[in-house]
Structure 1
């Protein structure tokens, strides 16, 4: 994929230099965050700036070419979170300790599940331990994100 630097810079700035799904801060990474196609190119998505989101490698890989997931509460299919159509806080909140993202809508729950936003599939809970350390450093969660 060849996204012009000007477009990449606009996407990064628009996202406040954090993953638009899990809100991972780019400055905490050893490499720049990636560009995700909200509607994957493999199913008709384009390189239009309104179809691009800033994503950490983990969220980008788990998003893959999916546009929906299963809401674990209702067992119904739901669209994945689209940062161009909705505000993060409409679908997600942080636990009080800042280590877990909780989906508060079908879209939020399906996105948490599909993108494994809380590292539930790994036994060592790497993401949750990292978030705890980032909170101690005062970098997490972002001030504007709601908590339980």
Structure 2
């Protein structure tokens, strides 16, 4: 499937819906040294459309780690599990912040597998979260 261009208007609508936060790791774009991207929740390679219902705002690394995956094998349940879908899933149904708000804990198989696959607790993310807590910007509201 050929890649389509996402208009500036559509891009702005997606980032407004996400409150300028990565819809996976909840990082805020205003603190990021790298550009955020528009993620196709259902990848284009799996015939995902470039329309508002299939787009999510994502930091570069979450987008890169998610790649074209829609599901992953969960060793705990020995079943294929879909990754978190920010268009259909409530973040709080699958994730919770640790008591110190530095790590994301998966509450469900979807949450657990997404944390692992997208490395939502990678070292630099934990450092980033610790740095912005004093500003009252983490965890995001």
- TM-score w.r.t. structure 2 length? 0.92
Alignment partner for residue 126 of structure 2, among 125, 128, 131?
Answer: 128
In structure 1, how many angstroms separate the alpha carbons of the residues matched to 2:89 and 2:46? 21
Cα offset, 1:30, TM superposition:
3.3
SS at match of 1:128: helix
SS at match of 2:140: coil
In structure 1, how many angstroms separate the alpha carbons of the residues matched to 2:78 and 2:5? 38
- TM-score w.r.t. structure 1 length? 0.88
State whether structure 2 residue 75 is matched by structure 1 residue 77.
no
SS at match of 1:69: strand
Alignment partner for residue 6 of structure 1, among 9, 16, 19?
Answer: 9
Cα offset, 1:46, TM superposition:
1.0
Cα offset, 1:137, TM superposition:
2.3
In structure 1, how many angstroms separate the alpha carbons of the residues matched to 2:75 and 2:92? 19
Q: Deviations over 1:114-136 (max 9, x none)?
A: 111111xxxxx222122111112
Q: Deviations over 1:56-92 (max 9, x none)?
A: 0010000100001233533432100001101110100
Aligned to 2:18: 15
Q: Deviations over 1:8-30 (max 9, x none)?
A: 00000000110000000111123
Supply the RMSD in Å over aligned alpha carbons.
1.3
